[in-house]
Amino acid sequence: MDWGSDLWDQHDVIDRHTQSGLDLLERYVKFVKERAEIEQNYAKQLRTLSKKYSRRGVKEDQDTKPSNQQAFQDVLNQLNDYAAQREQLSESMTLSICVELSRNLQELRQERKNHLCEVKKAQQNLESSSKLLEASKKRFEKEWREAEKANQQTEKVQLDANATKADMEKAKQHTHLRVHLADECKNDYASQLQKYNKEQNNFYHSEILSVYKKLQEMEERRIRLLADGYVQFSETEKNVLPNIIKCLDAISSTGRNINEKQDTLALIEQYRSGAAPPADVEFEDYSQGVKAAASDNTTTHLPKVRIKQLFHKKNKNFQVTSPDKNTPSSLEDLSRLPPDQRRRRLQEKIDDIQKELQRETEQSEAMMKMKGVYEQNSQLGDPSSLQPQITQTAHNIAKLRGELNKYQVQLTEAGGGTLQHYPASSEYITVLSESSVSPSENIYECEFDEDFDMDVPIGQCTALYDFDGGSEGAVSMHVGEQLSLMLEDQGDGWVQVQRASGDVGYVPASYIQII
């Protein structure tokens, strides 16, 4: 059985059925596309989640963390690989199913359209032949009636006694003409009928059979494509399952490899100071007038600080006021810690400040370059709009340098390194001088012991220009002022001088003349 022989009279049914099949194929393509988009969005969300909870920092810092913390980072890394597999699944569905089925769908639509056009064309030819047959039939009917009417008129003339021979002859000729025309119309009608029957037989037994059979074959191909699409939908995901399972197995393995005992012991190795617990407090019998003996272990002396390393302000507390939340806060007093632990803590502080100082320096250089670009081309931006940020960054750098010098001094006194001084560069001195911060404003406030070392001047010098030492570490001077040279230029363009008032600080080397 096939459509051509059994559904030759169900053209509308075949039309609707084939259109419904193509619509189903199109719906499936849209379904797979949306599924691929879901996988793509899922992978994107997984990557965002992994990035959100990933630890930031250098790899060396991560390697020193306990295994349970590093394992969590490994889990996040595996989650990234898992997201990559979901992205691959989305791409495979799009290419192997959606693209291929969309192309086949277009071909099937065009093929169906061509077949239906063939049926319509054959129907139009048959209808045209049917109209010609109907017209020849009506003409034959009309001419036959006219012939009968002419014959009756002839008979009437023959029966009329008053009719002449000429009238009778004329009536016979008219009748003969009408009968001849009726015979011609009869023959044309018969010929047209034969032609129509032939075309109708060809239409229903040949053309319709062939076209409907092609439509049936097309429908079978569509069904097979859709069935293969169902299978491929499953097989595509099965192909990425092994890699997904590897990611999940790796996460499981990460959890099993955590050593809780090793993690707790690592904390001991990292922070063990080696100091012994304090001894028992001796009983002091005041009733007997015995003078209490002071234990050497109970008295801790604060280290002396050289004033030239911490600038020249003496107040109650040392405090850093930084508007930048990333700038290290107030300096901590680590002098009461055991020596080993104190050196380790001081070195950690110095490393943190150096990293922050590097970041602030790079940010300042970038803003200075941007300001230069704005000055060259005012259309790109207003240079004055960057001044508050440049000023703030310069303040932060000056504060960081002050803290770094402080901790360097403490580390040197603790026997953990050599002293390195970090004076403010001319760039930051210039920025701070141009800012709205007054020279009298103090960012650093320190308390020092009165017992400190004073350096001996190495020479005398004269100020060539006025200089407003409004930033930390700098000192003001006026043209012609006599100064004591405390420290020569170390290659950074700055020298340390002492005024007659006793103020010690740094000034640009090009602003003075050594006597």
pTM score of the predicted model = 0.48
* CA pair distance 393, 369, nearest whole angstrom: 14
Q: 416 vs 422, which has greater pLDDT?
A: 416
* CA pair distance 153, 219, nearest whole angstrom: 67
In this structure, are residues 163 and 237 in contact, taking their beta carbons and an 8 Å threshold?
no
Cα torsion 140, 141, 146, 150 to 10°: value is 90
For residue 364, the model assigns a pLDDT of: 85
* CA pair distance 326, 355, nearest whole angstrom: 11
Stretch 462-473: mean pLDDT, rounded?
Answer: 82
* CA pair distance 104, 108, nearest whole angstrom: 6
3-state secondary structure labels for all residues of 403-470: HHHHHHHHHHHCCCCCCCCCCCCHHHHHHHHHCCCCCCCCCEECCCCCCCCCCCCCEEEEECCCECCC
Contacts of 428 (CB under 8 A, 6+ apart): 364, 394, 397, 398, 471
In this structure, are residues 510 and 482 in contact, taking their beta carbons and an 8 Å threshold?
no
C-alpha distances in Å from residue 68, one per residue of 64, 71, 228, 248, 482: 12, 5, 47, 17, 64
* CA pair distance 299, 278, nearest whole angstrom: 12
* CA pair distance 137, 139, nearest whole angstrom: 5
Query: Predicted confidence band at 416 (pLDDT cuts at 50, 70, 90)?
Result: low
Tens-place pLDDT, residues 474-502: 888 988 899 998 888 877 778 889 998 88
Q: 401 vs 452, which has greater pLDDT?
A: 401
Tens-place pLDDT, residues 29-84: 999 999 999 999 999 999 999 999 987 654 545 556 788 888 898 999 999 999 99
208: pLDDT strictly greater than 70:
yes
For residue 322, the model assigns a pLDDT of: 40
For residue 441, the model assigns a pLDDT of: 40
* CA pair distance 89, 247, nearest whole angstrom: 15
* CA pair distance 229, 234, nearest whole angstrom: 9
Q: 201 vs 381, which has greater pLDDT?
A: 201
For residue 332, the model assigns a pLDDT of: 58
* CA pair distance 269, 340, nearest whole angstrom: 13
* CA pair distance 347, 358, nearest whole angstrom: 16
The pair of three-digit structure tokens given for residue 496, joined into one six-digit string:
């340390």
For residue 43, the model assigns a pLDDT of: 94
For residue 417, the model assigns a pLDDT of: 59
303: left (phi over 0), alpha (psi -120 to 50) or beta: beta
In this structure, are residues 323 and 392 in contact, taking their beta carbons and an 8 Å threshold?
yes
Tens-place pLDDT, residues 101-158: 999 999 999 999 999 999 999 889 889 989 999 998 899 888 888 888 888 888 887 8
Q: What is the mean pLDDT of the chain?
A: 79
Counting Cβ atoms within 10 Å, is residue 274 exposed (0-12), middle (13-18) or buried (19+)? exposed
For residue 363, the model assigns a pLDDT of: 86
